[in-house]
Amino acid sequence: MTAFWCESLLIDGVHVAGVRLEVDPAGRITRVQVEPAKAADIRLRTVVPGFGNAHSHAFHRALRGQTHGDGGDFWLWRERMYRVAAQLDPSNYQALATAVFAEMLVSGYTAVGEFHYVHHRADGAPYEPAHAMELALAAAARAVGIRLVLLDTLYLTGGIGRELAPEQRAFSDGSAAGWLARWQSLRAQLAGDDLVTLGAALHSVRAVTPDAMREVLAGLPREVALHIHLSEQPLENRDCLAALGLTPTGLLESVGALAPRLSVVHATHLSDTDRALLGDAGVTVVMCPTTEADLGDGVGPAHALATAGSPIALGSDQNAVIDPFLEMRGLEMGERLVSKQRGRFAPAALLAAASTAGYASLGLGRHRLQPGDLCDLVEISTTGVRTVGSLAGQLPLTATASDVLRVFVGGRLVAECGQLIGGERPAALMTDALARACQSTTRVVQG
C-alpha cells in the first residue's frame, strides 16, 4: 500500500486540509481521511485531481508557431494541417506523440483522449503490420506514463455528399463495416493494457453519413465512449440543413446517437433547440477554448449548455497551447466577454470540467478522489509569482502549467518540476521529434 498526505486537497473544488489517501497496488484509492500524516507517507502540499484532456490531435502540435501570423480562417488552416498529416508514418508519429504526451504530463494532464484518424498510408493503403499508427500512439503514451484513451475515428467522406479528397485518403477505412472490423481487431490487441484503452469517434457529420452512423451505433459496445466534432463552423450547419433538412445536432438525434456516453466537441454554433436536445440527453460538450480562439471559431454557449444539462469538459485540440489552466481560464473568460458578467463558471466548476468531466467523457470513471477512484494527482505550487496569495479554491484562475510540481498516475510519480521522472525534458523530445517527423513541415506549410 502507498499513502499520500496532502496539506491541502481540493475535493470537488473545496479545500480540505490534512487529507490522507491510501492507494492499493492497482493505483486506486482505498481510503480518504482527514488525519495526521504517518512516517512513511508521501507528503504533498496543494493537490488537485489529475486533469483529463478530453480532445487532442497530437500531430497538430507540429503547426505550433507556423500558422498563427498568416490570417485566413479554419478552412485555410485545415489545408496546412493536411500537409502535415501527409508527412507522418508510424515511426515519426510515435516520436512526435511521445513529445506531445510528455508536455501534457508535465503540465498536469494525467489522461488524454486522442481523436485519431490518420490510420493508413497517404494513398489509403493499410500499414503492415496492422494498426501500426494506433500502436505507435499507444507506445508513446506508455513511454511517458500518461493514460491514453485512443478515440479511433471513422472518416468516410470529404463533406456531405462529397467524395474524399486525395489528402483525406489516409483517414478512411472505406466503409463503416471496414472501420468496425479494424476497431474490433485493435481492441483485442490493446486488451489488458493498464494505461491505454480504446474509445471511438465519428469524425463529424461532414465525414460520416447517417447510415454509417447507424451502423456504428449498432455495432459498437454500449460501454465505449463515443466522440464527434459538432458544429464547429457555420458552414457545417448550412451544408447539413441544405442536404438533410436538419442541424448537425438534429441529425445525431435522428440516428439515435444522443446519449450520456456521447461527447460532442466544440458545439460552437447551436440553435436553442440543439442546446435543449444535448442537455436533455446528458451529452457531454468538450470545449477547447485556446483552439477555438486561435482558429477564430467563435465562443460556444458553454454556460447555456451546462444550464441545459450537458456536462462541460475541456480539451487542448490542436495543441497550439498545452496548459489545462489556460483552458479553464479560457472557458470562463469567453463567457465573461459574451455575457459581460463575471463568475459564470465558479472555480470549482472549472476544476470539475478539467478533471472529473474530462475523465467521465473518456470513460475513465468519476475521478473525484474518492475510494475506488484512480489515484491520479497533481501537486501545484502556491508560492510562485502567479499563485502566491491565491486561495486554494481559486487556483484554476491564477495558476498555469508552470506551477505544476509533481504528477502522479495510478499513485506512481511520473513527472516532477517540468520533466519526466526519467529525466527527459519535453522540449528536447520535441526538438528531436520535429527534426524526424516534420523536417519539411516549415517548407510545406509556407508553400
DSSP state of 320: S
Q: Give the per-residue pLDDT at 195.
A: 98
Q: Give the per-residue pLDDT at 70.
A: 78
The radius of gyration of the chain's CA atoms, rounded to the nearest angstrom, is: 21
Contact (CB, 8 A) for 433 and 102: no
Q: Give the per-residue pLDDT at 445.
A: 42
User: Taking 80 as the threshold, does the pLDDT of residue 9 lie above it?
Assistant: yes
Which of 266, 269, 303, 367 does the annotation list as catalytic?
266
Instruction: Write down the pTM of the prediction.
Output: 0.96
Q: 20 - beta bridge partners?
A: 5, 33
Q: Give the per-residue pLDDT at 436.
A: 86
Q: Give the per-residue pLDDT at 438.
A: 56
Which of 152, 317, 373, 403 does the annotation list as catalytic?
317
229 is catalytic: no
pLDDT in tens, 138-186: 999 999 999 999 999 999 999 999 999 999 999 999 999 999 999 999 9
DSSP state of 260: T
CA angle 116-274-332, nearest 5°? Answer: 70
Euclidean distance between CA atoms 137 and 195, whole angstroms: 12
pLDDT in tens, 242-285: 999 999 999 999 999 999 999 999 999 999 999 999 999 999 99
Residues 6+ apart with CB under 8 A from 179: 154, 156, 173, 216
C-alpha cell at 25: 497496488
Task: Please tell me the number of Cα atoms within 13 Å of 143 on its side-chain side.
Answer: 21
317 is catalytic: yes
- Region 231-245 average pLDDT: 97
